[in-house]
Structure 1
Amino acid sequence: MHWAEKIADKIIKRNPDKEEYVCAAGISPSGSIHIGNFRDIATSLFVAKALVKKGKKARLLFSWDEYDRFRKVPVNVKAVDPDNEFEKYIGLPYTSVPNPFETQHANYAKYFEAEFMDSIKKFGIEMDYRYQTDMYTSGKYKEDVIEAIKKRKEIFDILDSFRTQDAEEGERDAYFPVSIFCPECGRDTTKIISVSDDCTVAEYECECGHKGTFDFAKEFNCKLAWKIDWPMRWRYEGVDFEPGGKDHASPGGSYETSSVISRKIFGFEPPMFQGYEFIGIKGSTGKMSGSSGLNLTPETLLKIYEPEVILWLYSKTDPKKAFDFCFDEGILRQYFEFDKMYNEYMEGKANEHNSSVIEYSLIEGRSIKTVPMGLLVQLGSIVDFNVPMMETVFEKIGTPYKYKDFDTRLERAKYWLYQCAPESANKLRGWRDWDLYNTLSDEEKKEISLLYDYIKAGDYDLDSLNTKLYDIPKEVFGADVENLKKIQGQFFKNVYRLLISKERGPRLYLFLYAIDRERFMHLLDFSFPKTEEEEALEKAAMEAEKEPEKEVKVYGEPDEVQPIVEPEINVDQFFAMDLRVCKILKCQEIRKAHSNYKLTLFDGLRERVIVSSIKNDYKPEELEGKKIIVVANLAPARLTGVTSEGMLLAGTNNACGCQVIFVDDIIPEGTRIC
């Protein structure tokens, strides 16, 4: 049974008579929505389909959490914001932040929402959208907000029960589960001072200096905190199922906390929840994030994957298991496995589970043509993706595909080959490889000569060419020679190396037959000496490939290990030092400074500058883009004319010089080291 159907059975068992089941998902439009977020939608989508398959009515509800606060300027916005103007909008709801791009979209949220929804249409997914700015500001949640304020102390007790540290004196009385957006500065940097007995009117003050009163029954520019907002919306929408990342699913995580609040505060049985593993990327590095720049969007992925194959990867994989999208050759294996399962399904040979996997992946109104992606890449590489030539080759090899059979995959094959795996492309050499030819034995040179004469004569078809390639080693070494297969294999390698400078390539007889022989014959003709032009081309190539010699630093013996003489500190003293992961954005020299660099960092909240005396140990290009650990709460100091806001961690020893402590790129900026 498909995993979605197992979940659907549990949902029906919990509430068998419900008229319509609600499967929910939601995303905050903090930046470009990446394919990892898509698992939220795909998981709910398949459960909704499973409910319909079982004869029930189901609706896929999607919430745009656009009333969340703007926390961080993503990389693609920074690229169009050289003066860091968008830093001033941090703390505003996303719908109050202007659109950073020159488009017609009304604000920041609407731009990124539209970007994602345009790609979602290509998956044929129908969703009932909720826009949380509209839901809050229209007053739809006003009674729920007032209810949460009335029960604020009970909410505090629930939240406190999940904390490891004891609450401070007065913290419970001062707690409020709602943030007010300041009418002056627009931010959520307000603090509620007091509230009326009926919990409808609050006095508040903002960090910007504004003070005022707020009537929750009449004013609606406020928002509940996430762990209260989530269960409030479960009740409001009658949600039956909602998935979430494994961080939400962890013990004491958002779902567990919100479930208790849902039951005890809102009197609503929380929906069934399914935690899911995160998505990996093969052929690329780094954690996917809408703010990091590694924002692998569905639209980007659709350039190499058909939408059905993307849905199939989610459908066939249990949410608790991870899987990879492949930018390397793994994508060809994925296409092969999809085609095999799909063809078995179409032929009625698939088992029940695989049939369900395919059914949940299909898109109404689209037909799938399973021309092998590996073959498209292979042949396309040979003939530069020339469609008439590809049709000719397909005809010659007994698979008479026409363009209409492979039109949806051809551009994806081309994009993957040239953009993701250019090393797999087969490019003919520009001149004869004399260095290689001179290493061949006399017999191997004769094989190349026989092949050249045969190609030059031109009297062959695909089958006779294939036969000739295997016969040439027999003509030179004899049909009864030992290790004939090994000799034939070496002949093929020699031809590949002479033509494309690789030992392997597409099937050789196809390669030689598909491309115009005038393009490669000269690479097999060693009947005349190396020309001056070849000498020049070879010399230029060698110069271009030369890498500058890396300076080798010579260090001495390790310093003598000194005893620990500093006084002991306790845990509180250690935590008084705020160590944060920061990313080095720029490394600049400082005028007249012999050993100091000016490093511009991003600490997860803002850019900061530190001065560090590592100029003699590192070049700027060795630092930019790396992540380091910084003492973030060190008092600012003026060093070589620059104000330094922190100090990086490094180890210094006679055996290694000064070595900065770098951290893995997967650790987000702003992470505290403890």
Structure 2
Amino acid sequence: MLQNLETLARDAKSWPFEQARNLLAHVLKKRLSDADRNAARLLIDAGKTGEALATFEALRRPVIFETGYGPSGLPHMGTFGEVARTTMVRNAFRALTGDHWATRLIAFSDDMDGLRKVPDGIPNPEMLAEDLHKPLKVVRDPFGTHDSFGAHNNARLRAFLDGFGFEYEFLSSTEQYRSGRFDTTLLTLLERFDAVQAIMLPTLGPERRETYSPFLPVSPVTGQVLQVPTLERNVSKGTIVFDDPAGGRTELPVTGGHVKLQWKPDWAMRWTALDVDYEMSGKDLIESVRESGKICRALGGVPPEGFNFELFLDIEGKKISKSKGNGLTMDEWLRYGTPESLSWYMFQSPKSAKSLHFNVIPRAIDDYLAFIEAYRTQEPAKRIDNAVWSIHAGDPPAHTSPVSFALLLNLVGVANASSKAQLWAYFARYLPDATPDSEPLLDQLMERALNYYEDFVKPTKSYRLPDAREKAALLDLADRLKALPGDTTDGEMIQGEVYAVGKAHEFEPLRGWFAALYEVLLGAAQGPRFGSFAAIYGLTQTIALIEDGAEGRLTQA
């Protein structure tokens, strides 16, 4: 069975498996000679990854994945997206190698970076203004919950990632610099200062070139991260000399957390010091990846494999910024959508720009549910390319929700429901054995539907009057439903009558008839499968709704 999974992974077409195969080739090239690489590849392709690892000692080190987070603002969806997508590649790599190869995912926070500006929408902004240019792990927490702004944002990120069940190791830039973990690579950069400058200076403007240094000393006087030139370097002592505006000419070691690096050299230093094998990034960082890769090589490292994903856009088509707060936060998504729907959204077309706004959530939920349904009947070669395989690491749930989110939204509106108890009452006949315990996802979707309807659907709901043909069709439908057994919960039977009415009244195409149902009865441009909706809402109530809509009473409510 395991070998079969490896075979499926080698042939899978979805992007996580493409990335996993690229990563495998990268790691083999990075760690082995040509001859050994060919021998190892033959074993891995034969489903004998364990034997390859036993044979070649260089392959026994874990494969390191990294994601980065800049905690100058609250965690946003792009941050989560990097971890989710990287985890998908990690899962694909495990399938490709039979899960023999140890992997690690490092979630790295650049919390030693200086706070450059006060983010929008933050309490106590005057406090942050007083702490500008200090390391984020030193800046006071305006929320009053942690010992620093960086610690607060790190905690927000970790709480969400933990809630999602991600496997990861959190590393703080401050702790890594201060612990000495980066010291060896920092001393190498000091020694190869001129080579790094030769890479960076051509990418800068004339004025910036005059003052640029890869080293950012932390002032012993003010505690600020200083953007100042390096005046002298003492490689044998491991120090730099600079002019501190608050303390004059100062000498500091580059080790032990006394300095940090500019972000491109810092990125390259991390790749080298942590031996990172894979890191993805946004399309806006393509040039930065290239320059950091050059610096990584100058430091004696090998840049990681990775790819560039497109950016998320707000409802106006503008790039989402964590400092502006113009996109959805993770907490906001989870108020209206499930965690699985968010992962589904992250899986889809990572190289295409996508809107990240409240209006994408209902479709994401129902698309996820549809993919789960499809997975049940797919052959193995199709299953492994189904998004839910990557979302659930090859083990998607066998059961999800018996109804769509769109249906629940309309049920909330028509029933004027304000609690899950009211919604569950409608399901008493349709699903008599269902309870919140037996249908936990349905219960979660009810809560989110109530929230979404109240905040977004209700304020924009607009019923219209039917025209003459639509009114006649609605009254015909009401009469036909009255002829059905009053206690029926057969959605297909009801749906058959809906179709029959549409054809009898010559709606061509039929979607015009369904549009009329949604706009006249539900006050929306789109809606759920009407038969299923009526079965849950109840035949008597549905007939009354249809008659009210036909007579224009809904527009007066």
Q: TM-score range by the shorter chain?
A: 0.7 to 0.9
The 1:211/1:374 distance shift into structure 2, 3 A limit, reads same
Alignment match of 1:320 (pick from 330, 347, 351): 351
Alpha-carbon distance in structure 1 between the residues aligned to 2:306 and 2:476: 69
Partner of 2:181: 140
Partner of 1:370: 401
Displacement of 1:233: 1.2
Alpha-carbon distance in structure 2 between the residues aligned to 1:113 and 1:525: 56
Are the aligned partners of 1:449 and 1:525 in contact in 2 as well (CA < 8 Å)? no
Are the aligned partners of 2:104 and 2:168 in contact in 1 as well (CA < 8 Å)? yes
Alpha-carbon distance in structure 2 between the residues aligned to 1:408 and 1:59: 32
Alpha-carbon distance in structure 2 between the residues aligned to 1:132 and 1:13: 29
Alpha-carbon distance in structure 2 between the residues aligned to 1:31 and 1:38: 14
Are the aligned partners of 1:67 and 1:133 in contact in 2 as well (CA < 8 Å)? yes
Partner of 1:9: 21
Q: Does 1:271 align with 2:316?
A: no
Partner amino acid for 1:322?
A
Alignment partner of 2:307: what SS? strand
Displacement of 1:298: 1.9
Alpha-carbon distance in structure 2 between the residues aligned to 1:138 and 1:495: 66
TM-score normalised to structure 1 length = 0.62
Are the aligned partners of 1:382 and 1:511 in contact in 2 as well (CA < 8 Å)? no
Partner of 2:67: 25
Alignment match of 1:114 (pick from 148, 155, 158): 155
Displacement of 1:373: 1.6
Which is further off, 24-33 or 45-54? 45-54
Are the aligned partners of 1:241 and 1:273 in contact in 2 as well (CA < 8 Å)? yes
Alpha-carbon distance in structure 1 between the residues aligned to 2:308 and 2:473: 65
Match runs of 1:40-439 below 5 Å: 40-53=82-95, 54-55=97-98, 56-77=101-122, 79-81=123-125, 84-103=126-145, 105-163=146-204, 171=210, 176-189=213-226, 190-196=228-234, 198=236, 200-207=238-245, 209-216=246-253, 220-249=257-286, 253-264=287-298, 266-281=299-314, 286-317=318-349, 319-325=350-356, 327-328=358-359, 330-349=360-379, 351-352=381-382, 354-355=384-385, 357-362=387-392, 369-371=400-402, 372-383=404-415, 384=417, 387=420, 390-391=423-424, 393-394=426-427, 401-403=434-436, 404-405=438-439, 406-423=442-459
Displacement of 1:115: 1.1
Q: Which runs of 5+ in 1 are unaligned?
A: 428-432, 531-537, 542-674
Alignment partner of 1:359: what SS? helix
**CA deviation profile, 1:358-410 (whole Å, cap 9, x unmatched):** 22211789775133222222223222165465455446568975443211221
Alpha-carbon distance in structure 1 between the residues aligned to 2:391 and 2:491: 42
Identity %: 20
The 1:5/1:393 distance shift into structure 2, 3 A limit, reads same
Alpha-carbon distance in structure 1 between the residues aligned to 2:223 and 2:236: 26
Alpha-carbon distance in structure 2 between the residues aligned to 1:446 and 1:269: 70
Q: Which runs of 5+ in 2 are unaligned?
A: 1-11, 29-57
The 1:417/1:400 distance shift into structure 2, 3 A limit, reads farther
Partner of 2:32: none
The 1:13/1:500 distance shift into structure 2, 3 A limit, reads closer
Instruction: Give aligned pairs, total.
Output: 496
RMSD of aligned Cα (Å): 4.6
Q: RCO (CA 8 Å, sep 6+): is it higher in 1 or 2?
A: 2
The 1:449/1:122 distance shift into structure 2, 3 A limit, reads same
**CA deviation profile, 1:285-338 (whole Å, cap 9, x unmatched):** 643222112252222212222222222232343x3233344522x544433332
The 1:214/1:466 distance shift into structure 2, 3 A limit, reads closer
Larger strand share, 1 or 2: 1
Partner amino acid for 1:22?
I
Larger helix share, 1 or 2: 2
TM-score normalised to structure 2 length = 0.74
Which is further off, 90-99 or 306-315? 306-315
Partner amino acid for 2:86?
S
Partner amino acid for 1:257?
E
Are the aligned partners of 2:375 and 2:383 in contact in 1 as well (CA < 8 Å)? no
Partner of 2:45: none
Alpha-carbon distance in structure 2 between the residues aligned to 1:133 and 1:272: 25
Alignment partner of 2:257: what SS? coil
Greater Cα radius of gyration, structure 1 or 2: 1
Are the aligned partners of 2:488 and 2:539 in contact in 1 as well (CA < 8 Å)? no
Are the aligned partners of 1:69 and 1:93 in contact in 2 as well (CA < 8 Å)? yes
Match runs of 1:548-627 below 5 Å: none
Displacement of 1:411: 1.2
Displacement of 1:503: 8.9
Displacement of 1:121: 1.6
Alignment partner of 1:31: what SS? coil
